[in-house]
């Protein structure tokens, strides 16, 4: 995959409020494109205007400086999210360390953070996350199946599910709020009731405090066509079932979604998981008087 460094105009974007799912006030994407190559990724959609999502990653080389400038101006302290359009801990992060540097800036300015990832590389920044957690820090792992083999088929560039769970356990042991983004749930691929139950049981056993489920997936233009090609490759015949069942809809929901949600709710209650994550309430930042007071 081609790696290209670019100069960004901005780095911190407001999130429409209220955000009851993830608790975000601001959103930050340090890269464009993603190396995890998940077959279902919504970011391939035309609406996001990423020309070569699977062939090139753009590295915003000035992102950390932009972040520091932005946080200096903020008057509301709220949670900064990262990981919505790409994974902040994809392999390129090993080279450029933009996420690690950005977290150091966030710690310096005492802002809360919510990291969304599929990678155990997040453990490299554990000490910084512990420092940020004096205010608030959360790490959510996207996990769409409890099975490493199936995970490799649908998320070929991402670390194995078992590695994500092991990282979750270490974060939880360090006092970091952590849980599972059970989204998307791929119809006819990863929505078997027994697998969903097993996933929640594994998450609870590895320190998760919550699971946020969405029982289905988006199917937009370029995303849909790429996904169908991958279904033909890994699950011959299944794309035809999708075309017949979902046609041109933009959201494909699992069969019996209501009963599956009831199953998830009951299982979460049994294993001690919440279906809503604790979030940080935005607050005004009290600015110190820059003048030296004389006594």
**Mean pLDDT throughout 267-293?**
84
Cis-peptide, bond into residue 174, ω within 30° of zero: no
Q: Is the pLDDT of residue 279 over 80?
A: yes
Over residues 140-145, mean pLDDT: 98
Q: What is the pLDDT of residue 286?
A: 86
- Asked whether residue 21 carries a pLDDT value surpassing 70, the answer given is yes
290 has pLDDT over 80:
no
State yes or no: pLDDT of 293 exceeds 70: no
Neighbours of 193 (CB within 10 A): 13
User: What per-residue confidence (pLDDT) applies to 288?
Assistant: 58
C-alpha dihedral sign at 94, 45, 223, 19: positive
Mean pLDDT in residue range 19-38: 96
pLDDT recorded at residue 294: 37
Q: Which residues pair with 115 in a beta bridge?
A: 82, 139
Percentage of residues in the chain having pLDDT higher than 70: 97
Q: How far is CA 152 from CA 54, 83, 102, 129, 198, in A?
A: 17, 20, 29, 28, 18
- DSSP lists the bridge partners of residue 252 as 217
Residue of 14, 11, 10, 12 whose CA lies nearest to 282:
14
Per-residue pLDDT band for 146 (boundaries 50, 70, 90) equals very high
pLDDT digits 0-9 by tens, 195-208: 999 999 999 999 99
Cα–Cα distance measured from residue 186 to residue 176, given in angstroms and rounded to the nearest whole number: 29
Q: What is the mean pLDDT of residues 257-261?
A: 96
**For residue 52, pLDDT beyond 90:** no
> What confidence score (pLDDT) does residue 1 get?
87
- Ranking 12-26, 120-134, 203-217, 276-290 by mean pLDDT, the lowest is 276-290
What is the token pair recorded at 209? 């405090």
When pLDDT is averaged across residues 258-277 and rounded to a whole number, the result is 98
Residue 292 has pLDDT above 80, yes or no: no
pLDDT at 50: 84
pTM summary value: 0.95
Does the pLDDT of residue 11 top 70, yes or no? yes
Instruction: Encode pLDDT of 214-252 as tens digits.
Output: 999 999 999 999 999 999 999 999 999 999 999 989 999
Q: What is the mean pLDDT of the chain?
A: 95
Q: Any bridge partners for residue 218, and if so which?
A: 251
> Has residue 76 got a pLDDT over 60?
yes
pLDDT value of position 248: 86
- The DSSP secondary structure of the chain, one letter per residue, reads -EEEEE--S--EEE--S--TTT--SEEE-SEES-SS--TT-GGGSGGG--TTTTTEEEEETTHHHHHHHHHHH-SEE-PEEE-SSS-TTSTHHHHH-HHHHHHHHHHHTT--EEEEES-GGGGGGHHHHHHHTTT-EEEEEE---S-HHHHHHHSTTSPPHHHHHHHHHHHHHTT-EEEEEE----TTTS--HHHHHHHHHHHHHTT--EEEE--EEE--HHHHHHHHHHHHHHSTTHHHHHHHHHTT-SEEEPTTHHHHHHHHHHHHHHHT-BSS---PPPEE--PPP-SPPP-
CB 259 within 8 A of CB 191: no
* Per-residue confidence (pLDDT) for residue 287, from 0 to 100: 73
Q: Average of pLDDT values for 206-212?
A: 98
| Of 233 and 53, the one with more pLDDT | 233
Q: Which residues pair with 32 in a beta bridge?
A: 58
Tokens of 228: 């169908």
What does the alpha-carbon distance between residue 165 and residue 185 come to, in Å, rounded to a whole number?
Answer: 18
Higher model confidence: residue 286 or residue 158? 158
* Complete domains list, the chain, with CATH: 2-277 (3.80.30.30)
Instruction: Give the N- to C-terminal CA distance of the chain in Å, as an integer.
Output: 62
């Amino acid at each position: 995959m081609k790696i290209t460094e670019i100069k960004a105009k901005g780095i911190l974007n407001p999130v429409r409020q209220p955000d009851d799912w993830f608790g975000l006030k601001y959103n930050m994407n340090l890269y464009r494109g993603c190396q995890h190559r998940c077959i279902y990724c919504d970011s391939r959609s035309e609406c996001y205007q990423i020309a070569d999502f699977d062939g090139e990653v753009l590295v915003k080389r000035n992102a950390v400086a932009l972040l520091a400038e932005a946080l200096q101006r903020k008057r509301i302290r709220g949670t900064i999210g990262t990981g919505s359009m790409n994974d902040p801990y994809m392999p390129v992060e090993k080279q450029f360390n933009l996420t690690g540097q950005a977290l150091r800036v966030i710690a310096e300015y005492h802002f809360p953070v919510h990291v969304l990832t599929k990678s155990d590389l997040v453990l490299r920044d554990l000490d910084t996350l512990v420092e940020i957690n004096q205010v608030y820090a959360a790490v959510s792992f996207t996990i769409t199946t409890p099975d490493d083999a199936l995970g490799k088929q649908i998320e070929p560039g991402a670390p194995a599910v078992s590695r994500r769970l092991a990282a979750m356990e270490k974060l939880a042991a360090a006092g970091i709020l952590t849980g599972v983004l059970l989204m998307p749930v791929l119809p006819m691929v990863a929505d078997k009731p027994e697998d969903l139950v097993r996933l929640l049981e594994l998450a609870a056993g590895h320190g998760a405090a919550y699971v946020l489920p969405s029982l289905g997936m988006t199917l937009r233009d370029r995303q849909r066509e790429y996904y169908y090609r991958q279904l033909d490759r890994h699950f011959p015949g299944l794309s035809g079932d999708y075309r017949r069942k979902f046609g041109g809809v933009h959201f494909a929901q699992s069969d019996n979604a209501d009963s599956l949600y009831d199953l998830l709710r009951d299982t979460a209650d049994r294993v001690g998981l919440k279906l809503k994550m604790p979030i940080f309430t935005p607050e005004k930042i009290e600015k110190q008087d820059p003048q030296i007071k004389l006594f």
